[in-house]
């Protein structure tokens, strides 16, 4: 008899896998160990919870523990932390609320996720300095910001997704916001054109933006009172550090499971790790990037869900690949929308063996004569010799992310720019110009090959 399917971590990858395995195999024992209280929640919604757009933290939960247990017949154990994996004996060591025990597995999924990076900055341990990664973080920040009203001046370290989304959330709560970003632009993975447009939007919304500014320390005694930069000390009474995430690989590493070049767990096309019967998925793994053919660590919700689901199907006896990624991402920045896909960074493109050419164009979100159209700026990157499309980004006030999906679809298919130019895309005056902005960008980029 096959041993149980054991899952470490009860969020996107883990619960998708458990649920899919249950649907495919009604009789197998499926055990999920989650070290916290929360499972299957939309962490991407946390900034909007802080903003007040979402009333209750519970609203971010897509399936409750009770539903998993009673409706899906999954043995979900919250407040159970896995302390170790033994790939020889095929067991995990689990610390439950009452005792520590060994659990044998037939198949194991490591879905340990990632953690917010806490950079080693002087004073980082001061009270009122937060990261935002899980439900407890969101709860603590909202309580601090909303319920006390003593937060008036927030410093945000890092101009990435979380920093930008939290700037919007905090401004909505009437808090003064300062963003400190080391690089010359915000949202670096989205490319320059997006960075510029979003910086302009942030300033228009009265966010103080400190670019090329390294935070050297935090001041304060009982709580944080200032952010030290090389030039000044900016007074704050709240700090949000959005310095990215790092994959939680300690368990895997200690078990002797292979860690990839990106620092995340290496897996094959079925999400299988270097250890027999051990899979990994979600924010703790690297995945194959369809453009470069190399592994990449892009911890996002869709690929975690998809890989979890695929592994659930695989362990049920019907092998299903976890899929490739092209690094597609979207973010709302106040009244702007930004999205990106593929390889935008020219250095990275060169490292992958390409000879990148980049073009940026500005067009409109609606036909020129149609009311209330907005500017929309498209960047496309392609390889000069093969003309293969490598990546794209878009920024504008409407119609952005789903236009990037067209580019992402092209990347998955290895389309060239001339092929992309020929796409029969939708047109009606309320929705875009006759030549969609992505086609205009392709025409301009196509011209630059000549």
Give the residues lining the site for a second copy (CB under 8 A): 12, 42, 44-45, 48, 53-54, 59-60, 62, 290, 300-303, 305-306, 321, 323-332, 337, 339, 341, 367-371, 399, 401-406, 408-410, 412-413, 415, 419, 422-432, 434-436, 439
Rounded to a whole number of angstroms, the minimum distance from the CB of residue 98 to a second copy is 34
DSSP of 176-193: EEEEE-SSSSSSGGG-HH
Q: How many residues does the chain have?
A: 450
Nearer to a second copy, 184 or 430 (CB): 430
Rounded to a whole number of angstroms, the minimum distance from the CB of residue 384 to a second copy is 19
Nearer to a second copy, 71 or 254 (CB): 71
Residue 87 backbone zone (phi > 0: left; psi -120 to 50: alpha; other: beta)? alpha
Rounded to a whole number of angstroms, the minimum distance from the CB of residue 298 to a second copy is 9
Q: Are strands 91-95 and 217-220 parallel, antiparallel or unpaired?
A: unpaired
Nearer to a second copy, 34 or 296 (CB): 296
Nearer to a second copy, 164 or 236 (CB): 164
Active site residue 284: no
- Which of 29, 44, 57, 423 does the annotation list as catalytic? 44
**Coil, strand or helix: which one is 412?**
helix
The pair of structure tokens assigned to 83 is: 């302390």
Rounded to a whole number of angstroms, the minimum distance from the CB of residue 6 to a second copy is 24
The pair of structure tokens assigned to 141 is: 């920040």
Rounded to a whole number of angstroms, the minimum distance from the CB of residue 328 to a second copy is 5
DSSP of 40-107: SB-GGGHHHHHHTSSS-GGGGBSS-HHIIIIIS--EEEET-EEEEEETTTTEEEEE-SS-EEEEE-SE
Integer CA distances (angstroms), 53 to 38, 173, 242, 301, 398, in order: 20, 11, 21, 20, 20
Nearer to a second copy, 322 or 357 (CB): 322
Nearer to a second copy, 61 or 124 (CB): 61
Q: How far apart are CA 237 and CA 125, in angstroms?
A: 14
Rounded to a whole number of angstroms, the minimum distance from the CB of residue 354 to a second copy is 19
Contact 377, 338 (CB under 8 A): no
Rounded to a whole number of angstroms, the minimum distance from the CB of residue 392 to a second copy is 11
Phi, psi (degrees; rounded to nearest 5) at 70: -85, -40
Taking alpha carbons only, the member of 8, 5, 30 closest to residue 94 is 8
3-state secondary structure 215-236: CCEEEECCCEEEEECCCCEEEC
Nearer to a second copy, 377 or 406 (CB): 406
**Catalytic positions, please?**
44
């Amino acid at each position: 008899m096959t041993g149980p399917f054991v899952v470490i971590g009860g969020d996107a990858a883990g619960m998708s896998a458990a649920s899919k395995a249950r649907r495919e195999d009604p009789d197998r024992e499926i055990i999920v160990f989650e070290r916290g209280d929360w499972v299957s929640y939309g962490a991407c919604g946390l900034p909007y919870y802080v903003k007040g757009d979402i009333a209750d933290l519970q609203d971010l939960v897509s399936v409750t523990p009770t539903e998993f247990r009673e409706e899906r017949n999954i043995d979900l154990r919250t407040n159970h932390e896995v302390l170790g994996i033994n790939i020889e004996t095929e067991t995990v060591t689990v610390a439950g609320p009452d005792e520590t025990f060994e659990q044998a597995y037939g198949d194991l999924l490591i879905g340990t996720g990632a953690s917010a990076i806490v950079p080693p900055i002087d004073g980082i341990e001061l009270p009122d300095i937060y990261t935002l990664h899980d439900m407890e973080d969101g709860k603590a920040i909202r309580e601090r910001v909303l319920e006390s009203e003593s937060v008036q001046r927030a410093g945000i370290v890092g101009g990435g997704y979380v920093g930008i989304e939290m700037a919007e959330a905090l401004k909505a709560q009437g808090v003064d916001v300062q963003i400190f970003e080391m690089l010359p632009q915000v949202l670096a993975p989205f490319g320059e054109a997006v960075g510029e447009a979003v910086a302009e939007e942030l300033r228009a919304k009265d966010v103080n933006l400190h670019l090329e500014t390294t935070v050297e320390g935090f001041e304060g005694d009982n709580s944080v009172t200032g952010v030290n930069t090389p030039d000044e000390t900016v007074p704050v009474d709240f700090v949000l550090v959005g310095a990215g995430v790092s994959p939680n690989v300690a368990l895997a590493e200690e078990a002797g499971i292979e860690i990839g070049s990106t620092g995340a767990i290496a897996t094959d096309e079925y999400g299988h790790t270097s250890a027999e019967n051990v899979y990994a998925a979600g924010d703790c793994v690297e995945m194959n990037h369809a453009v470069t053919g190399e592994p990449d660590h892009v911890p996002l919700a869709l690929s975690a869900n998809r890989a979890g689901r695929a592994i659930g199907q695989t362990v049920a006896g019907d092998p299903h690949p976890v899929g490739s990624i092209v690094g597609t991402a979207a973010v709302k920045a106040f009244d702007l929308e930004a999205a990106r896909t593929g390889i935008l960074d020219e250095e990275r493109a060169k490292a992958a063996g390409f000879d990148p050419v980049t073009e940026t164009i500005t067009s409109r979100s609606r036909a020129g004569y149609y009311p209330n159209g907005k500017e929309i700026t498209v960047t496309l990157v392609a390889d000069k010799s093969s003309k293969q499309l490598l990546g794209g980004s878009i920024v504008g006030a409407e119609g952005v992310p789903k236009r990037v999906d067209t580019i992402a679809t092209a990347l998955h298919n290895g389309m060239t720019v001339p092929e992309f130019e020929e796409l029969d895309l939708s047109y009606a005056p309320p929705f875009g110009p006759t030549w969609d902005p992505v086609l205009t960008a392709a025409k301009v980029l196509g011209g630059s090959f000549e």
